[in-house]
Amino acid sequence: VRKLIVGNWKMNPNSLVEARRLFNSVAKAAKRFQNVDVVLCPPFPYLAALRPAPSALLGAQDVFWEEKGAFTGEISPRMLKSSEVSYVIIGHSERRRHLGETDEMINKKVLAALKNGLRVILCVGETLSEKRRGQTKAVLRRQLQHDLASLRLAALKPSALIIAYEPIWAIGTGVPETPFSANEASRFIRKATGRIISPKVAKNIRILYGGSTNSRNIFGYLIMPELSGALVGGASLDAKDFTRMLEIANLL
């Protein structure tokens, strides 16, 4: 399976000039890396101003589930498509936490995005206290059951769904989950997803690890059998470090 490295810029950088510079420098460097898929997810205003390159595709950080109408502030799947966006992150823990996104809302977003031909990067993961109480698997199972409800992926390609395992306590903390444990959680995610949609499809979906990854630690995740890439936050804002990550992924 080709590795997939996704840069989630979150609410950065502060200007379109900087966004253009970052995007162009990554897209240019990525031309050298033919064995890795690269997706960059800038904030909405920049997303509309950037054009995807063959070496760096565009992803959104969120999407709304309705097609159009009176939904102030929201962005539809078709609007994303018309801005040449091909991927969308759904259910990031920061949206669950700060914006009150529920699994029910996330499910509607997943269904709407897939229906419109966007590739979905669904984020799941446990909090530190859930981990400490030994609830990681139960939390992942519950999130997947709700987030993927009513999904008929059997008719879709496995490439349409990507799941990112992002333990919340590892995001932006500099304390990543170990590659071994991330692999274990991903194995569980694949099994649980198989039960919800179809084992055949789940076998071939890509699972990413996210949480304090950088060019110094990414190798350990990419060699894990259940992992096909990474969802990168902070390090994706540093063109040099992110390019190094792509270089490493390209070798595997």
- Using CB under 6 A as the criterion, which residues of the chain lie in contact with ligand 13P when the complex forms? 8, 92, 166, 171-172, 210-213, 231-235
- Least spacing, CB of residue 63 vs ligand 13P, in Å: 15
Q: Which is nearer to ligand 13P, 61 or 201 (CB)?
A: 61
Instruction: Report cis status (omega within 30 of 0) of the bond before 179.
Output: no
Q: Which of 92, 101, 126, 177 is catalytic?
A: 92
Based on the residue annotation, tell me whether 98 is a catalytic residue of this protein. no
- Least spacing, CB of residue 36 vs ligand 13P, in Å: 17
- Least spacing, CB of residue 214 vs ligand 13P, in Å: 8
In angstroms, the CA 87 to CA 188 distance is 24
- Least spacing, CB of residue 172 vs ligand 13P, in Å: 4
Place of tokens 């200007």: 15
Q: Which is nearer to ligand 13P, 65 or 209 (CB)?
A: 209
Taking the CB of residue 187, how many other CB atoms lie within 10 A of it?
15
Element (H, E) at 182: helix 179-196
Based on the residue annotation, tell me whether 166 is a catalytic residue of this protein. yes
Please report which residue ranges of the chain form alpha helices under DSSP H. Answer: 16-30, 44-49, 77-82, 93-98, 103-115, 128-132, 136-147, 179-196, 199-204, 218-222, 239-251
Q: Which is nearer to ligand 13P, 62 or 166 (CB)?
A: 166
Q: Which is nearer to ligand 13P, 96 or 201 (CB)?
A: 96
Q: Which of 94, 101, 126, 166 is catalytic?
A: 166
Backbone angles phi, psi at 88, to 5 degrees: -145, 130
State which amino acid sits at residue 214: N
Q: Which residues are catalytic?
A: 92, 166
